Chain A
Amino acid sequence: MTDKEIIASRIALELEDGDLVNLGIGIPTLVANYVPEDKRVTFQAENGIIGLGGLVEEETEIVNAGGMGASILEGGAFIDSITSFTFIRGGHIDITVLGALEVDQEGSLASWIIPGKMVPGMGGAMDLVTGAKKVIIAMRHTNKGIPKILKKCTLPLTASHQVNMIVTEMAVMEVRKDGLHLLEVHPDYTINDVIQATEAELIFGEVLPMKGI
């Protein structure tokens, strides 16, 4: 399994039967490939699909939120941007999975701007992390060795105190009131490896091997 596949397959375990889920672009998109068949999960695309299906290369009339040709499943609906963000902002999305540049131990995240360098914009990310019931961050543990999981984000925030869980190729962490808890570590790494690659303070007791991989 590649790092991306490890992250996606672990996150798929968090999806419950009946959930409405929005997946961001990149690693989060892969989560859809690992949903067990016995769980009925509905995917939303913020450009206007309830019941998003798989990618379809030649398709131009149905696109996903990344602008790629996609499909709609039986029972799905095309919706406008107001209805789409009523789902997102009104607390009707059970889980959103998004990437990030930085996440901190207080559950704040940065994902939309590197001042002076890169300004793609926030798209729907600020709405998703503020409105979804559960926010899971899917990302590589470090940026080529430089920690991305910090005590406090340094880049401009996407939102403060909204992240519930962080899943990387090394570990599964949960943001709780008292701080960032290390719950699971991938068998290829030790707890010490994770601590070394993390700037944030990790709270842990019994740490389990990473599930779902």
Chain B
Amino acid sequence: MRNLLNKEKFIALLHDGMSLMVGGFLTNGTPEGLIDLVVESNVKNLTIICNDGGYPDKGVGRLVANNQVKKVIASHIGTNPVIGTMMQENKIEVELVPQGTLAERIRAYGAGLGGVLTPTGLDTLVQEGKQIIEVKGKKYLLEEALGADMALIGGAIADNYGNLKYNKTMRNFNPIMATACEVVVCEPKRIIDEIDPEHVITPHPFVDYILVGEYCD
């Protein structure tokens, strides 16, 4: 069953040094209301795991611009030159991960697996420091599972039970991240009575809290 959460209760869950997975793809499906509150909390030294670096004024980019981020794990930061500049100046640590590998590492954590074997990244910088494992004559990189303290889920339509489905392309990393974190908080676009069980994408046991109040229609 869902636990409703207001702004104050959400901010109380945040602390310095925590790792946050943030859903969305170039901010499509990113919970901007939850980002507002992380900015307001001003917690520091965050590790942010997101598909991309968003934009300087949108998505996880706002946390970077507010100097709250120690490390970014993402597949792409090209849309946010602030991260690129801070990286060159050694003010932020960036781990670039191939997009499919990022998704699978998160899925693996949520599914209780130690990691995944993939040929993506072989013979590239991505290979550095990683084990190469041969299976049936084919080489693979061992990519370790990736979890976090908290997932911030956006782009969702929730029901009264806490089940989620997603709005159009806003699904992206959201349902995967909802499986891989200690605490999962969703900022739904709207709440309806009941989602048809055939259409539930994230079943309610994965969801700890649903943000209500001014951020939800």
Chain A residues with a Cβ under 8 A of chain B = 45-49, 60-63, 65-67, 70, 72, 78-82, 84-85, 88-89, 108, 112-113, 116, 118-127, 130-131, 156-160
Residue B42 interfacial (CB < 8 Å): no
- Per the bound structure, the CA–CA distance linking A34 and B54 in Å amounts to 31
Q: A67-B28, A121-B78 are in contact. Are A81 and B120 (CB under 8 A)?
A: no
- Interchain CB contact under 8 A, A62 and B169: yes
The answer to whether A127 touches B25, judged by C-beta atoms less than 8 angstroms apart, is no
Complex CA distance for A118 and B84, rounded to whole angstroms = 8
B residues apposed to A, CB below 8 Å: 25-28, 51-52, 74-79, 84, 87-88, 94, 96, 98-101, 103-104, 107, 118-126, 166-176, 201
Q: Which chain A residue lies CB-closest to B75?
A: A123
Q: Contact partner of B101 among A48, A66, A127, A160, CB < 8 A?
A: A127
- Taking A62-B169, A121-B75 as contacts, is the C-beta distance between A82 and B26 under 8 angstroms? no
Inter-chain CA distance A156–B51, complex, in Å, is: 21
User: Which residue on A lies nearest to B79, using beta carbons?
Assistant: A67
Contact between B123 and A120, CB atoms less than 8 A apart = no
* Chain B residues positioned under 8 Å from A60 (CB to CB): 28
- Chain B neighbourhood of A84, CB < 8 A: 103
**CB-based contact A82/B176 at 8 Å:** yes
Given contacts A126-B98, A130-B119, contact A82 B103 (CB under 8 A): yes
Given the known A-B contacts A82-B104, A85-B99, A119-B96, are A131 and B170 also in contact in the complex, defined by CB atoms under 8 Å? no
A-B contact pairs, 22 of them (CB 8 A): A47-B28, A48-B169, A63-B25, A80-B172, A81-B25, A81-B51, A81-B176, A85-B99, A119-B96, A121-B76, A122-B75, A122-B76, A123-B99, A124-B75, A124-B99, A125-B98, A126-B124, A127-B99, A127-B120, A130-B119, A159-B122, A160-B123
